[in-house]
Structure 1
Amino acid sequence: MARHDWSAFCQLDSMHSHWKRPGWSPTTRAYYWMLTFDAAAFGEQLELCRQAIRHLPFDLIDDEGLHLTLGRVGPAHDIGQAAAERLAHRAQHRIPEAFDLKAAPLTASRGAARYSVAPWTPLLALHEHLAQATTATGLPPLKPTSHLRPHIGIGYCSQTLATRPVRNALAPLRKLPPVTVRVDSVDLVLLRREPGAYRWDTVHSLPLAPFIEKPRSGTGENLSIPTS
């Protein structure tokens, strides 16, 4: 997946401001499902990656802002607190088990610099579970699981720029080893935008089922990190 993400980015000629995406205003508040991460799990690598693009027009994501978006539930004025409570209660029932995720430095998209993540299988299973819970609660459906493109951002592009200097800054980082993080909860949050950043209030943090170590069979999913 890391190789695929990098190849896709290398096909782009330019990046564009993440903040010009439609559907947001200073007063927008929306419920989202997301995974949040302790920056300490990334060690010194995270700051190394941020420093590598600090000279470029990115709004860097600080330690408190690390996340992986799983899905938008809907605007707060349509959902309401009572519906959010029902959704959290429904989602906790038969929730999938915890899992380990590998975050591989570093690639980008049209609007952000980010870690690639793998394996996708438990992420897709968790998304499907949350999608079913959302629909069962009577709320508008999440986007299809097949549309999910999970990643962990480290910086949002703040203006149009050519991709070449970004590729030049990111390429050396791709020789770094992937970081393993344990995913043992999923958060229902009320998300907002602030200048150059996303912030949120956690409505519910749902623990995943206990992780059960399974016997290894084969090599598992491949997280390939090219050397150039």
Structure 2
Amino acid sequence: MTASSKRPFPLSGPTSTSEPSIIRSNDWSAFRGLTALHDHWTLKGWAPGRSVYYWYLTFSDPALAELASECQGRLEADSLDHVSLDGLHLTVLSIGDTDQVSDSTLTRLIDLARRRLAGVKSFDLSIGPLSGSRSAIRFSVTPWDPLLNLHRLLRECTVAVRPNRQLTETSEFRPHLGIAYINKRQMANSLVDAVQQLRDLAPVQVRVDNVRLVELRRDGRRYVWHDHAVISLAI
């Protein structure tokens, strides 16, 4: 993984983590300001056979799938690898490579997270409009506040069982939901213009009522995972 891929995008967060218009504007301004886009699969280096534990939010909402499908259909290009509609997700936090996390550590992490999240209530998110990053096309997600709280709690749990693991700081967490990965380096203007044509599509509402600990791997130019634990949030 390159140094640039480790930097959060946008580099500067929004001035408000609760006001949707400010978050969306910050996302779009950062994407629109790019001059070049990168090959995701090179930028995010991944050794053959590697698998990693992550905290994930996943979604199966029909309205979200419909919005993603419409955007993907209008962004057909050889330079894009679309995320499958049954693979829509929001990455919260990397725990570490599976060969570096013992079964007992994983069990302790899951047990601790269940206890810490017991009082966290389910919440709603707004997904959209479409924007992008250095190597992906993705939706803005608002508000950030419940996601930042979730990240902080899961990070604290992970640090407790893996104290030597370097984890993303909550201040560098940039919630988003990707629908396509860019598979070759290119100038940004064409894709930025194409995304701009889709920004008038209305965002959709989704409910977050659980968090998943998944084992993630790459299969060609796509990500696949299976659940190790599903932690329900309070009603």
TM range (shorter): 0.7 to 0.9
Asked if structure 2 preserves the Cα contact closer than 8 Å seen for 1:104 and 1:115, the reply is: yes
**Structure 2 match to 1:143:** 168
Structure 2 equivalent of residue 75 of structure 1: 97
Q: Aligned runs of 1:20-35 on 2, under 5 Å?
A: 20-21=42-43, 23-35=45-57
**Contact (CA 8 Å) 1:59, 1:157: kept in 2 or not?**
yes
* 1:95-134 alignment, distance < 5 Å: 95=117, 96-134=120-158
Shift of the alpha carbon at 1:3? 1.3
Maintained 8 Å contact 2:55/2:211: yes
Query: How far apart are the structure 2 equivalents of 1:36 and 1:17?
Result: 24
Identify the match of residue 175 of structure 1 among 192, 200, 205.
200
What's the CA shift for 1:51? 0.9
Aligned residue for 2:15?
none
1:194 aligns with 2:219: yes
CA deviation after TM superposition for structure 1 residue 178, in Å: 0.9
- Indicate the SS of the match to 1:47: helix
Q: Does the Cα contact within 8 Å between 2:39 and 2:183 map onto a contact in 1?
A: yes
Which AA in structure 1 matches 2:59? F
How does the TM-score come out when normalised to structure 2?
A: 0.85
How much is the aligned-residue C-alpha RMSD, in angstroms? 1.4
1:148-191 Cα distance to aligned partner (Å, 9 max, x none): 01100000000011111112211121111111100011110111
For 1:41-56, what aligned pairs fall within 5 Å after superposition?
41-56=63-78
Give the aligned partner of residue 59 of structure 2: 37
Contact 1:113-1:155 at 8 Å conserved across structures: yes
1:18 to 2:43 alignment: no
| CA offsets 1:109-153 (integer angstroms, 9 cap, x no match) | 110000000100000000011011112224525211001011000
Sequence identity, in percent? 39
**Contact 2:52–2:217, Cα closer than 8 Å, also in 1:** yes
List alignment gaps of at least 5 residues for structure 1.
211-228
Normalising by structure 1, we get a TM-score of: 0.88
Residue aligning to 2:16 = none
**Which ranges in structure 2 are unaligned for 5 or more consecutive residues?**
1-22
Deviations 1:200-226 (A, max 9, x none): 11100110122xxxxxxxxxxxxxxxx
Instruction: Give, in angstroms, the shift of residue 67 of structure 1.
Output: 0.6
Check whether the contact 2:36–2:134 (CA below 8 A) recurs between aligned residues. Answer: yes
Q: Residue 154 of structure 1: which of 179, 187, 193 is its match?
A: 179
Contact conserved, 2:130 with 2:139, CA < 8 A, in 1?
A: yes
Q: Could you tell me how far apart the structure 1 residues matched to 2:36 and 2:162 are?
A: 40
Displacement of 1:101: 0.5
C-alpha distance in structure 2 between counterparts of 1:40 and 1:29, whole Å = 29
Q: 2:189 is matched with which residue?
A: 164
